Amino acid sequence: MNKQDLSALTIKTLHDKIKSKEIKFIDIIDSVINHIKTDEQKINGFISIFEQEAINQARQLDQKVDYNNLPPLTGIPIAVKDNICVKDKLTTCGSKILSNFISPYDATAIARLKNAGAIIIGKTNLDEFAMGSSTETSYFGATKNPINNDYVTGGSSGGSAAVVKYQGAISALGSDTGGSVRHPAAFCGVVGLKPTYGRVSRYGLVAFASSLDCIGPIGKSVKDVATIFNIIAGYDPLDATTINKPVTPISVDAGTIKNYTLGIPKQFFAQGLDTRIAKVIDNTIKNLSKKCKNVKEVSLPNTKYAVATYYLICMAEASSNLARYDGVKYGLRLDTKELKEMYEKTRDQGLNTEVKRRILIGTYGLSKGYYDEYYGTAQKARNLIKQDFNNAFKECDVIITPTTPTLPFKIGEKIEDPLAMYLGDIFTTPANLAGITAISVPAPELIDNFPVGIQITGPAMGEEYIINSAQAIEETVV
Amino acid sequence: MINQSDLEKIARLAKLGLTADESSKLTKDLENIINYFHEIKELELRNVSPMTHAVMIVLPLRLDEIKPFKCMDNYLPYKKFNYIFVPAVLE
């Protein structure tokens, strides 16, 4: 095969080719860098690229690697969303306020990738502080969808999804607070996994909404996503909210879905869903029904309250988490005569309008006289949404829905209408509120050349079920 | 519901400076968004307890011991003589 095309292969195939000495490490890096050279300028998926370092690391591996002891990601170039710390590299969060911030340490997920041999190829673009669903609000400009450059990538991990799509990296890490891994995966036609809350350490992930944030992998294939998940998952003493249970590595097997009952929630197929997407999902379910044990309708009656509940909670948590960006210790600082003025001016100039909007609403919802009415009520509604899932999973193993209610939209189309943008998260936010796991995988059919994301949701710690179901969809040929 | 002076009060609490243009646009946005949030008031929540976290975890206690931590000097741009300098608070 042409060495230019190596970046189209899965992690496992590349690993096998390296092991059998059919290819060199530098061949993989060369292939990825070639794609970056061709596409990056028009896509704007990266904030930083570590080209020379990656070349040096690959050359070193070629010179002195022990072929009898090759960890699973040896020499595999991985891109990392720019809100996850990589030691001695910029971590900007797509914001002016952190545009000069260098990470003093590796996030636990990064340390685990490096231990498994990965080469970090660059840091990817995102909506500022991961607040957005289109990757348009970054201080470093919008990322464009590789499928059609006039359209958004979805967000907020749009840079990670885009560079995986154009093969500027073999896989990537994103973060998912309300859908930020699954949403851009759906819009860019790649696979994105949001693990169970607490399954992957948040140490070194810049906090947005701490009770919802989750690091998740993005890849070209379900197997790649599973490979990365197996490496980054597990207890971490540096994050007290990680689950202290052993991780059994998932070996992907679509055949196991013959034992699964698939749940279809009627509430997801109601008003607001593009009818063309509904039809694609219908076809997919028909195909799966031949392979699984049973398909049945389930009810998630409080889904329509998910967006309001999610935004009230995440904005409140964000207003508290982002209070640290005040110009005192690191990041941007504006010179002023007085301290209070320094805080206000630094935050005014350093943060964009969407981040300010969320800090303001979050502050309002937590302020005296409004706490019970907003934040307190949302916490109760969150409990109802979680109970809906508990009830549904008594009747089924996984839940199949669309990932997004619409196809990708044009750059600029929704940026002036924040509420319209928020409503695009209707199908992804419930899994974050409930703390459970969900994956987005491209449907076997396209609509007007655009991919359709199918979301499979599983119970807490149920990654194996959703990954196997996603594999069954990936293997479907229309 | 939310007027400009409410917005200015919230901005003060959040230590957020706003330009005049931004302030009038945000007042309108906040009004719309918070109105939308009111739909959760339809829910019957009298007997529902608040969910504060996704997983029930008892926060672990750690031993009170000193662990080595790398020198952070290179990462602190506003540090002088072992202190972080800020503008004066008092005259």
Segment A226-275, tens digit of pLDDT: 999 999 999 999 999 999 999 999 999 999 999 999 999 998 888 789 99
Structure confidence by residue, pLDDT tens digits, A274-312:
999 999 999 999 999 999 999 999 999 999 999 999 999
pLDDT at position B20 is 83
How many residues would you count in chain A? 478
pLDDT at A153 over 80: yes
Mean pLDDT of B72-89: 88
Give me the pLDDT at residue A1, please: 57
- pLDDT tens for A90-121 read 999 999 999 999 999 999 999 999 999 999 99
- Which of the residues of A are catalytic? 81, 156, 180
Cis ω before A156 (30° cut-off from 0)? yes
Report, as an integer, the average pLDDT of B34-38: 95
pLDDT value at position B57?
Answer: 72
What is the pLDDT, as a whole number, of residue A303? 92
Q: Within a domain: residue A144? A: yes
Nearest-CA distance from B66 to chain A in Å?
15
Which residues, at least 6 apart from A387, have a Cβ–Cβ distance to it below 8 Å? none
Q: Report pLDDT for A4.
A: 63
Confidence of residue B91 (pLDDT cuts 50, 70, 90): low
Yes or no, beta carbons of A211 and B54 under 8 Å apart: yes
**CATH number assigned to the domain comprising residue A115:** 3.90.1300.10
* Structure confidence at residue A130 (pLDDT): 98
Q: Is residue A102 part of a domain?
A: yes
Taking an 8 Å cut-off on Cβ atoms, the answer to whether B50 and A336 are in contact is: no
For residue A18, what pLDDT band results from cuts at 50, 70 and 90? very high
**Interchain pair B19, A328: CB under 8 A:** no
The residue in chain A having the minimum alpha-carbon distance to the alpha carbon of residue B47 is A380
CB contacts under 8 A, B 3-32 vs A, are 6-7, 10-11, 13-19, 22, 25-26, 29-30, 32
Question: Per the CB < 8 Å rule, is B37 touching A100?
Answer: no
Note the pLDDT tens digit of each residue in A451-470: 999 999 999 999 999 999 99
Say if the Cβ atoms of A383 and B49 lie within 8 Å.
yes
Global pTM value:
0.97
Average pLDDT over residues B22-41: 93
Percent of chain A surpassing pLDDT 90:
96
Residue B56 clears pLDDT 80, i.e. is over it: no
Distance CA A476, CA A288 (A): 8
- Tell how far CA A401 is from the center of its chain: 18
Of the candidates A302, A360, A379, the beta carbon closest to that of B52 is on A379
Strand partners, A124: A46, A81
User: Closest Cα partner for A137 from A362, A424, A356?
Assistant: A356
Question: Does A364 score more than 80 pLDDT?
Answer: yes
Please indicate, yes or no, if residue A184 is contained in any of the structural domains.
yes
Alpha-carbon span A15 to B29, nearest angstrom: 51
Number of domains comprising chain A: 1
Element (H, E) at B32: helix B20-37
Structural domain contains residue A456: no
Residue A131 has pLDDT above 80, yes or no: yes
Residue A106 lies in a domain: yes
Q: Please give the average per-residue pLDDT across A29-51, as a whole number.
A: 98
Answer whether A344 sits within 8 Å of B59, measured CB to CB. Answer: no
Residues 6 or more apart from A203 whose CB is under 8 A from it?
Answer: A107, A108, A236, A238, A239
Give the separation between CA A202 and CA A197, rounded to whole angstroms.
Answer: 10
Q: Is B52 on the interface with A (CB under 8 A)?
A: yes
Residue of B nearest to A364 (CA): B10
DSSP state of B39: G
Each residue of A391-416: b (16+ CB within 10 Å) or e? ebbeebbbbbbbbbbbbbbebebbbe
Name which of A100, A328, A381 is nearest B40 (Cβ-Cβ).
Answer: A381
Please tell me the number of Cα atoms within 13 Å of A49 on its side-chain side. Answer: 19
Domain assignment present for residue A283? The answer is no
Collect all residues of chain B within an 8 Å Cβ-Cβ radius of residue A102.
74-75
Q: Smallest Cβ distance to A339: which of B49, B59, B87? A: B87
Which range of residues forms the domain containing residue A102?
3-232
CB contact under 8 A, B54 and A197: yes
Say if A58 falls within a structural domain.
yes
Chain B residues touching A303 at Cβ < 8 A:
none
Task: Write the burial class of residue A423 (CB in 10 Å: 0-12 exposed, 13-18 middle, 19+ buried).
Answer: middle
In angstroms, rounded to a whole number, what is the distance separating the alpha carbons of residues A391 and A459? 11
A39 occurs within a structural domain: yes
